Structure 1
Amino acid sequence: MDRVGTSVEEEVSSELSRARILITGLTGNSGIDVARTFADLNVRLVVHTAELSPELVELFAFLSQSASEIRLHTLDISTANSAARFAQTSAQAFGGLDAAINMTSISADEINAIADDADLEALIESKLAPLAQLTRVIANRMCLVMSEGLVLNVVNMPEPRDARSAAICGVIRTALAAMIAQEARAWADKGVRINGVGPRAFFDGRAGAYLASEPDVASLALHLASRRGRALSGHVFDATGIDG
C-alpha cells in the first residue's frame, strides 16, 4: 500500500509540475496548507491576500523556495466588481490558469451579528458574490485559451455550536451549492469544472464523510486539479472545524 500511495503522489506531482495555480483569500487562518501543498509540486503560483501580516510575508518567502514561479497580489477583492477586475489580471499572469482555489471566511463574530433574515442574506451576498465573479471570469479566460481547468470555491466557517449556528451554516451551504450548480452547468461543455467546499451544518455528532482540517481541503484541491478529479463538477464537499 505504501508503494501504491507513493506512486499516486509521484503521478500527481509529475502531472501538476509547473501548472498555473491561483489561490485567493489567503489569510493567517485560511489557505496556508493549500498554498504549501501546491508550491511543493513546483507549480507556478499566483497568491492573493488582503492580510499581508509578517507571518504571511514569511510564508510567501517560504513558498518562493519551492514554487516554480510565484506572484503575490494584495488588492481588495471583497466586492463583485473588484473580484472580476482581479480575476482578469491574475488569469493573464502566466498566460492562463489551470486551477483556481478561491476562499472566503465567515467569522464567529459575523455569525453572532446576524439578527434577522435580511442580515443573513446580506452576509451571504457579501461572501458569495465575489466568489461567483471570480468563477465566471476565470472560467471564461480558461475557455478563451482553450484550456480545461478547475475552480474550487471554499467557504470557511467555525464549527456549529448550537442549533442557531447550524441553521445559519445550512442556509449558507445551500446558497453555495446553488451557485456551484449553476456555474457548473454553465461551463460543463467547455471543460471547466466548478466545485465547492462548504460548512457541515450539524453540531450534534451525526456521522457522515466530511473534511475535518485544512490539510484535508488541500488534499481535495490537489485531487480535483489532477486528472483523477476530472469527472467531478458541481459538487459541494462538507467541511467542519475549519475556522474563518
Structure 2
Amino acid sequence: MYMDRVGTSVEEEVSSELSRARILITGLTGHAGVDVARTFADLNVRLVVHTTELSPELVELVAFLSQSASEIRLHTLDISSANAAARFAQTSAQAFGGLDAAINMMSISAAEIDAIRDDLDLEALIETKLAPLAQLTRVIANRMCVVMSEGLILNVVNMPAPRDARSSAVAGVVRTALAAMIAHEAQDWAEKGIRINGVGPRAFFDGSSGACLASEPDVASLALHLASRRGRSLSGHVFDAFGLDG
C-alpha cells in the first residue's frame, strides 16, 4: 500500500538525520534482523541489540556492527515471556538515555506451524508470540513518553511462505491478530507522538493486492523510512511480507 514511498535510496536520504539515533533491535538471529541491524549501523547510530542466538556467526556480526555503529550494547536475556520482555524493555530504553526507534523481530517456524492441531493450539501460539511484542511496545512507548521523545516502534513477525491452504490460513490469522494489536497500541500512543507499525505475513488466498515485502533488505528499507521524518505520518499500519523466514 505504501511501498511506492519506500525508495532504494532511502539510506542515503536519511543518513544525516539518523546519525547517532538510539535504535533498539530485538530478536536478532542469523535469519532475522541481520540486514536491519547492518543498515542502521551503517548510519552511525547508537545500537542496542538483543539476541539469544550466540552462534559464532552472531558474535562475528556484532563485532562487525561495532565497527560502523557509533556505540553498541548487546543483551542476551530470554524475553520470550511477556514479563521478561517488559523488564528488558525498561532496561534497554535506559541504555542511551532513551530510544528513537525500536524494531522487534519475532519468528514463527515451519515446525511450530506443523505442530498446530486445532484452534486452541493456534491461539496459544499467537499468544506466545504476540504477548512479548505487546509488552515491548507498551514499555518502550512509555519510556519514550517519560523522556518526552517521539519515536517509532516496528513489530516484525517472520513466517515461511505458506505452502498449502492450511499454512496460508495460519498466516492469515497471525496477521489479523498482529493488525489488531498494532491498531490498538497505535491509537493509545498517538497523542504522545509514538508511531507503531507492523510487518506481518501475507497468506496465499487472502485476496491481497499491491506491493509486498519480499526480502529482509525490503524490511530494512521500510524501517529506515518509518524512522525518518518522511515516515512520521504513518502509524497503525501492518505491511505485508511474503516468505520472510525466521
Q: Normalising to structure 2: TM-score of the pair?
A: 0.95
Matched, 1:63 2:98: no
Match for residue 30 of structure 1 among 5, 29, 32: 32
How far apart are 1:6 and its partner, in Å? 9.4
User: 1:70-85 alignment to 2 at 5 Å?
Assistant: 70-85=72-87
How far apart are 1:7 and its partner, in Å? 8.0
How far apart are 1:207 and its partner, in Å? 4.6
Residue of structure 2 in register with 1:146 after alignment? 148
How far apart are 1:204 and its partner, in Å? 9.5
Match for residue 172 of structure 2 among 167, 170, 173: 170
Describe the shift of the 1:219–1:19 C-alpha distance in structure 2 as closer, same or farther (beyond 3 A).
Answer: same
Alpha-carbon contact 2:35-2:217 (below 8 Å) kept: yes
Describe the shift of the 1:175–1:7 C-alpha distance in structure 2 as closer, same or farther (beyond 3 A).
Answer: closer
**Where in structure 2 are there 5+ consecutive unaligned residues?**
1-6
Residue of structure 2 in register with 1:242 after alignment? 244
Residue of structure 1 in register with 2:130 after alignment? 128
How far apart are 1:64 and its partner, in Å? 0.3
| Residues in 1 aligned to 2:207 and 2:188: alpha-carbon distance in whole angstroms | 36
2:47 aligns to what SS in structure 1? strand
The one-character-per-residue Cα deviations of 1:149-205 (angstroms, maximum 9, x if unpaired) are 000000000000111000000000000000000000000000000000000111699
Q: Give the aligned residue type for 2:15.
A: S
Q: Give the aligned residue type for 1:87.
A: A
Q: Normalising to structure 1: TM-score of the pair?
A: 0.95
1:47 aligns to what SS in structure 2? strand
Q: Give the aligned residue type for 2:147.
A: V
Q: Percent identity?
A: 87
Residue of structure 2 in register with 1:114 after alignment? 116
Describe the shift of the 1:11–1:157 C-alpha distance in structure 2 as closer, same or farther (beyond 3 A).
Answer: same
| Residues in 2 aligned to 1:148 and 1:110: alpha-carbon distance in whole angstroms | 36
Alpha-carbon contact 2:47-2:73 (below 8 Å) kept: yes
How far apart are 1:126 and its partner, in Å? 0.3
Q: Which has the higher contact order (CA 8 A, sep 6+)?
A: 2
How far apart are 1:146 and its partner, in Å? 0.3
| Residues in 2 aligned to 1:204 and 1:179: alpha-carbon distance in whole angstroms | 19
| Residues in 2 aligned to 1:7 and 1:76: alpha-carbon distance in whole angstroms | 35
Alpha-carbon contact 1:160-1:203 (below 8 Å) kept: no
The one-character-per-residue Cα deviations of 1:110-138 (angstroms, maximum 9, x if unpaired) are 00000000000000000000000000000
Matched, 1:157 2:123: no
Matched, 1:51 2:47: no
2:80 aligns to what SS in structure 1? coil
Describe the shift of the 1:155–1:9 C-alpha distance in structure 2 as closer, same or farther (beyond 3 A).
Answer: closer
Moved more, 194-203 or 48-57: 194-203
Residue of structure 2 in register with 1:100 after alignment? 102
Q: Give the aligned residue type for 2:112.
A: E
Describe the shift of the 1:129–1:225 C-alpha distance in structure 2 as closer, same or farther (beyond 3 A).
Answer: same
Alpha-carbon contact 2:172-2:206 (below 8 Å) kept: no
| Residues in 2 aligned to 1:63 and 1:217: alpha-carbon distance in whole angstroms | 18
